[in-house]
């Protein structure tokens, strides 16, 4: 944190600029970013009662071991194909058997996703209401727009589909040819793996 406490802000950043010899691209690009969140400001936690609560990501210096109170390992949610597939399946178990699911993980993982998913359950399932007139808006595309396929995407999709179809036909054709090949049938019976010798 800055020596001057008046300079403390919600987000406090230290960067280390690499020396020219250690970089191959942009010499001004920082090699590391150390960010300290001032939770007293961000969460309105009174310093007088709780002291300074600072959360540092990528600390430039490791904490003094004698001051460590505990160690916890956090994992960032992984947004991959399996996760997106699971998200689409969530409605199947949502609000069934007396269980409702809410949390930023049900959408894109941002603050607004956590809030709107909780509000959705609160208003639609638990019968609550919100004071603002437009009600609860889905946050999924609040930061952008719903992805759509353009003509180029369709061309690539059709090409990939044709290539996949050609591979499928070719593999089927080879299988039929090998099945009808007496040498291969003989090899398989003799436990030689059915590989055709090329002469
Ligand atoms: C360092 C950092 C920076 C971020 N920056 C941004 C940003 O700039 N913009 C943005 O949009 N998002 C940001 N995010 C993401 C965003 O903060 C989170 O996705 C969001 O807060 C998650 O909200 P949530 O309500 O789903 O879950 P959480 O806020 O994690 O709430 C889950 C709650 O459940 C409690 N809990 C867990 N297990 C149990 C249990 N068994 N019993 C009872 N309680 C339990 C936890 O203690 C916690 O209070 C950031 C996240 C981190 C970590």
pLDDT, tens digit, 9 for 90 and up, residues 90-130: 999 999 999 999 999 999 888 899 999 999 999 999 999 98
For a ligand 1 pocket test, name from 58, 78, 109 the mutation site with the most ligand atoms within 8 angstroms of its C-beta: 109
pLDDT, tens digit, 9 for 90 and up, residues 173-184: 888 888 777 776
Round the average pLDDT of the chain to a whole number and report it: 86
For a ligand 1 pocket test, name from 54, 110, 115 the mutation site with the most ligand atoms within 8 angstroms of its C-beta: 110
Query: Global pTM?
Result: 0.63
The secondary structure of residue 96, as a DSSP letter, is B
Confidence of residue 140 (pLDDT cuts 50, 70, 90): confident
Any ligand 1 atom below 6 A from CB of 172: no
Any ligand 1 atom below 6 A from CB of 111: yes
Q: Kindly give the distance from the C-alpha atom of residue 10 to the centroid of ligand 1, in angstroms, as a whole number.
A: 18
Question: Kind of pairing, strands 54-57 and 32-38?
Answer: antiparallel
Atom of ligand 1 nearest to the CA of 57: 1
Contact 39, 11 (CB under 8 A): no
Any ligand 1 atom below 6 A from CB of 114: yes
Any ligand 1 atom below 6 A from CB of 110: yes
Q: Which residues contact 64 (CB under 8 A, 6 or more apart)?
A: none
For a ligand 1 pocket test, name from 33, 42, 73, 103 the mutation site with the most ligand atoms within 8 angstroms of its C-beta: 103
Tracing tokens 């002291």 back to the chain, one arrives at 51
Higher pLDDT, 75 or 25: 75
- Res. 197: pLDDT tops 70: no
For 13, counting Cβ atoms within 10 Å of its Cβ (0-12 exposed, 13-18 middle, 19+ buried), the class is: exposed
Share above pLDDT 70 across residues of the chain, in percent, rounded to a whole number: 84
Burial 172-187 (b: 16+ CB within 10 A, else e): eeeeeeeeeeeebeeb
């Amino acid at each position: 944190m800055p020596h001057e406490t008046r300079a403390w802000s919600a987000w406090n950043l230290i960067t280390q600029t690499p020396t020219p010899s250690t970089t191959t691209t942009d010499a001004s690009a920082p090699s590391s970013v150390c960010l300290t969140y001032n939770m007293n400001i961000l969460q309105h936690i009174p310093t007088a009662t709780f002291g300074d609560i600072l959360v540092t990501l990528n600390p430039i210096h490791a904490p003094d071991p004698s001051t460590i109170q505990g160690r916890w390992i956090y994992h960032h949610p992984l947004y991959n194909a399996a996760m997106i597939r699971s998200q689409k399946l969530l409605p199947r178990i949502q609000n069934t058997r007396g269980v409702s699911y809410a949390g930023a993980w049900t959408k894109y993982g941002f603050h607004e996703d956590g809030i709107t998913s909780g509000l959705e359950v609160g208003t639609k399932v638990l019968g609550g209401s919100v004071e603002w007139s437009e009600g609860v808006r889905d946050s999924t595309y609040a930061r952008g727009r719903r992805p759509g396929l353009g003509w180029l995407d369709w061309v690539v999709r059709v090409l990939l589909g044709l290539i996949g179809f050609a591979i499928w036909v070719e593999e089927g054709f080879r299988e039929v040819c090998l099945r009808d090949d007496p040498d291969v049938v003989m090899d398989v019976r003799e436990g030689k793996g059915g590989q055709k010798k090329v002469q």
